[in-house]
Structure 1
Amino acid sequence: MAVSIIIVMITIARLCDIAFRKATPPMLLPCRAFESLNSEGILALGQKIPLSKADLYDLELISGISDTIGRALLRDKLKIISKARELPPGQKYKALTIVKGIGEKKAKKFYNYLTFKSTPYLPNRCLSRN
C-alpha cells in the first residue's frame, strides 16, 4: 500500500511539473493583464508592492507584517516615502525604520517586498507603449 501511495504522489508531481512548464511565462501575457494585477499577483511574479498604493491587506501578505505594523506603515507612509527619496539607492530600506517596531533587520526583509515608487510592476514592452 505504501508503494502505491508513493507511485501516485510521483505521478501527481510529474503532472504538476508538466503543467507548470506548459504555462504561459509572465512576460508573454498581454500588457492589460499586468495593469490589473493585485498585490497577490505582483508578489507571485516576484515583484514589489508600491507602498503608496498598498492597503492593510496588501501589507499583511508580507511575512512578518502584523496588523499593528501594517497600520503603522500606512499611518507613516508619506514620511517613509519622503525619507526614502532622500536616501541613496542601497539604503532606501532604512526609511522603514521610522515605524516603531521595525529595526534595520526587519526593514531589509520588508524592503524585499515593498517599493517606494508609485507605479506597480509592468514589463518594459508595456511601458514603451504608453
Structure 2
Amino acid sequence: MGWKRILGLVLASIVLALVVWGLFLPLTTVSIKVDLPPARPSKPAASKPVEISIDANGAIQVNGRPSSLDTLASDVGAVSTTRDKNQQQVMIRASETVTYGTYMAVLERLRGAGWHKVGVIKDAIPN
C-alpha cells in the first residue's frame, strides 16, 4: 500500500468523523430552561444560648451570674439575646450530684415562664 492511499484513508476517516459529529452532536445537546427562585437574604445571626449552671449545692447561675428559683425567669429574660421566647435557646448544665428534684424545679420554672427551647449540656460541672 502506498503512502498516497494511506493518506487518503486517514483524510476520509477524518472527514467522516467530522460529518458524524456535525450531524449527531446537535441532537445530543439538550437545552433546559431553569427558572431559579430569587436569592433570599441571609438569615439573621443566631441568638447566643443562655447557659444555666446548677452546682452540687443546688446554687443556680445564669451566664455566670448568681440566681435563684424565684428570679430565674427574669434573669434568663435579662440576658436573653432575643425577646422571642420561642427562638431563644436555654441550655442547662448541672453537676453530677444535683438531685433530680432540683433539676426538675429549674426546668419547670423555665417552662412555666414560657422558655420552651431548653437543652442539656452534657459536660457536667466538676464537683
Q: Same fold (TM over 0.5)?
A: no
Which structure carries more helix by proportion? 1
Q: What is the TM-score of this pair, normalised by structure 1?
A: 0.21
Which structure carries more strand by proportion? 2
Max Rg structure: 2
